[in-house]
Amino acid sequence: MSTIPRAADPRARTRRGLAVASAFVLGTSLAVATPTAASAATGCEVDYQVNDWGSGFTASVEITNLGDAINGWTLGWEYDGNQQITNIWNGSHTQSGQAVEVTDGGHNASIATDGTVSFGFNASYSGSNDAPTEFTLNGVVCEGSVDPGPDPDPDPDPDPDPDPDPEPGERVDNPYVGADVYNNPIWAENARSEPGGDAIADQPTGVWMDRIGAIEGNDSPTTGSMGLRDHLDEAVDQAGGDPFVFQVVIYNLPGRDCAALASNGELGPDEIDRYKNDYIDPIADILADPAYADLRIVTTIEIDSLPNLVTNVSPRETATPECDEMLANGNYVEGVGYALAELGAIDNVYNYIDAGHHGWIGWEDNLAASAEIFAEAANTAGATPDDVHGFIANTANYSALKEENFAIGETIAGTPVRQSDWVDWNMYVDELSFAQGLRDMMVSDHGFDPNLGMLIDTSRNGWGGPDRPTGPGPETDVNAYVDGGRYDRRLQAGNWCNQSGAGLGERPTAAPEPGIDAYVWMKPPGESDGSSEEIPNDEGKGFDRMCDPTYEGNPRNNFNMSGALPDAPVAGHWFSAQFQELLANAHPPVE
């Protein structure tokens, strides 16, 4: 059994009405004193965090509205030092000396009751960099609670615990908080078979239902002989009656992965009825079994599917005939909607739609169009946005969680960081900022629940080892600055197959950042992304040149080398060399 360490849950703080202003400086959380309560009701809470590098910092600010819904907001505060904001995103600002006001960016102007919005900025300073101790929202001090006024009928015998811990099967806001998470015994055995693997073999990973046969268990190299019921029975045993998360990947759409042959599936592009009847329905029947009602079942819905309908269709240069077909027949949207509706009808299931990663859909046009497709799927085949508990970013990918040595909005030697070859006009440089930005967009622009949560797969994005930069690159030109400081050491952010030099990322953790339900290892480290050369198989998985270390690229990765490791097996099969490299390059290091 493995426990995801509990971090502060910003939405749990909202329910409890605590005032919070926290700073994150060089990996350390610092508590900041809150002001004395004012006489007026506040109805808001602010979470303020920074990544500080000594002469400047990047701040992430989340506002929670505890009062009536508002449309249009301005957040104000004062610094004690000489901090100066240099650029900002998801808002606009004015600054007069130490006084700062940030106004909404338009798309995030509305904040529902108990809803949140976030923005970020870069700033410079010298001397001290204390966090602000008081914030105002539309001129009213944020104290973290709403004054309800006098109680007309006070209860002489109030309940002793107004916010008790939930029971194992009770619906919760963040399924990961206060819960252990399933340790897949098949993956754990593979990990323990490797030198040094014992150190991480107890970590929780996702269970992949990547073919119909996996539901019952078909003794494959990927799933062994354990079917879905076998895993769930094992999860009940591991839970021991306590709150417990079981993570399952739903991954078998018709015409699956239309832009990557290595992860093609068993169903043809028109087999939507078979997807519903032979795949989703049996999974839903099993998950709805009362024997598993006390588990918190987290689903990752169809990796790398919906964004393909944005970036890899005509008239784009990156289009494939297969993706054009899936856009035309509508079966990706129909399949995702059906999965959301059927699985979302089960009280203890928490659906998270796969949302690609920042290096794929982080550009304005890609992100807005992808959000439209996500919303369309969530309103198709009987689904509603209520069937979506959140989204997951970076599934089975390598994008760095946080890039701390450069930021959007910086200008180096007269050229903006956004114009560097690596960033290439993207709005985001890492997965954390991307996940938080997508969350805000889905809530503000598409009507999703204000408590929408995000997951980030950190199984292979640590990029540690001797090549990890310790600071920014030289400021001689913008490319030297970005390339010298970036943690993500891929040749190009579009490279996705068995990447050389990658390492394990942050260990699975609950509620690590505002709006983030958990860091997870949804992709089991050590399972191949695809074979380095063609290997015949009966799993429907093809050979993709992006898994060939000699491949010189295509429009989707700007014709860069693939960066893939040699001698890789078919997707999903154990890849010892990759596991050893991930272990050696882990960040944080494996102890």
The pLDDT of residue 17 is above 50 = no
Query: What is the pLDDT averaged over residues 217-231?
Result: 78
Domain 180-584 class in CATH: alpha beta
Torsion over CA of 547, 548, 553 and 557, rounded to 10 degrees?
20
| Mean pLDDT comparison of 167-171, 279-283, 363-367, highest-scoring range | 279-283
User: pLDDT tens digit string along 513-562?
Assistant: 999 999 999 999 999 999 999 999 887 788 989 999 999 988 888 899 99
Q: What is the mean pLDDT of residues 67-89?
A: 90
- Residue 394's CB: how many other CB atoms inside 10 A? 33
Cβ atoms of residues 490 and 429 within 8 Å = no
Lowest mean pLDDT among 141-145, 221-225, 427-431, 477-481: 221-225
Q: Please give the average per-residue pLDDT across 60-73, as a whole number.
A: 90
> Which pLDDT belongs to residue 25?
30
Q: Which of 257, 440, 529, 544 is catalytic?
A: 529
Q: What is the pLDDT of residue 335?
A: 98
Structural element, H or E, at residue 415: strand 415-416
Burial class (CB in 10 A: 0-12, 13-18, 19+), 293: middle
The per-residue pLDDT for 22 is 31
On the question of pLDDT at 308 being above 60, the answer is yes
304 is catalytic: yes
Burial (Cβ within 10 Å: 0-12, 13-18, ≥19) of residue 99? exposed
- Average pLDDT value for residue range 16-24: 28
Q: Give me the chain's average pLDDT, please.
A: 88
Q: Could you give the 3-state DSSP secondary structure of residue 580? A: helix
Alpha carbons 24 and 330: distance in angstroms, whole number? 44
- Percent pLDDT > 70 in the chain is 88
User: Length of the chain in residues, anyone?
Assistant: 591
Checking if the pLDDT of 150 tops 80, the result is no
**Predicted pLDDT at 159:** 52
Q: How much is the average pLDDT of 344-367? A: 96
Lowest mean pLDDT among 101-105, 183-187, 359-363, 395-399: 101-105
pLDDT of residue 160: 52
Residues of the chain with CATH 2.60.40.290: 18-141
Q: What is the pLDDT of residue 23?
A: 30
Q: Encoding tokens for residue 554?
A: 């295509």
Cβ contacts of 590 within 8 Å, gap of 6 or more: 196, 199, 200, 504, 583
pLDDT tens, residue by residue, 556-566? 888 999 999 99
pLDDT for 415-446, tens place per residue? 999 999 999 999 999 999 999 999 999 999 99
Tokens 């690159």 sit on residue: 473
Active-site pick, 304, 440, 517, 544:
304
Q: Are the CB atoms for 508 and 520 separated by under 8 Å?
A: yes
CB-based contact 393:430 (threshold 8 Å): no
244: alpha, beta or left? (left if phi > 0; alpha if psi -120 to 50): beta
3-state helix, strand, coil in the chain (%, to 5): 25, 20, 55
Query: CA 134, CA 141: separation in Å to the nearest integer?
Result: 7
Which residues belong to CATH 3.20.20.40 in the chain? 180-584
Q: How confident is the model at residue 46 (pLDDT cuts 50, 70, 90)?
A: very high
Span 18-141: which CATH code?
Answer: 2.60.40.290
Q: What is the pLDDT of residue 300?
A: 98
> What SS3 class is residue 269?
coil
68 is an active site residue: no
Better-predicted residue by pLDDT, 574 or 163:
574
CA pseudo-torsion sign 201, 207, 211, 212? positive
pTM, two decimals, is 0.77
Mean pLDDT of 237-246: 97
The phi and psi torsions of 391 (rounded to 5 degrees) equal: -130, 155
| pLDDT interval class at 114 (50, 70, 90) | confident
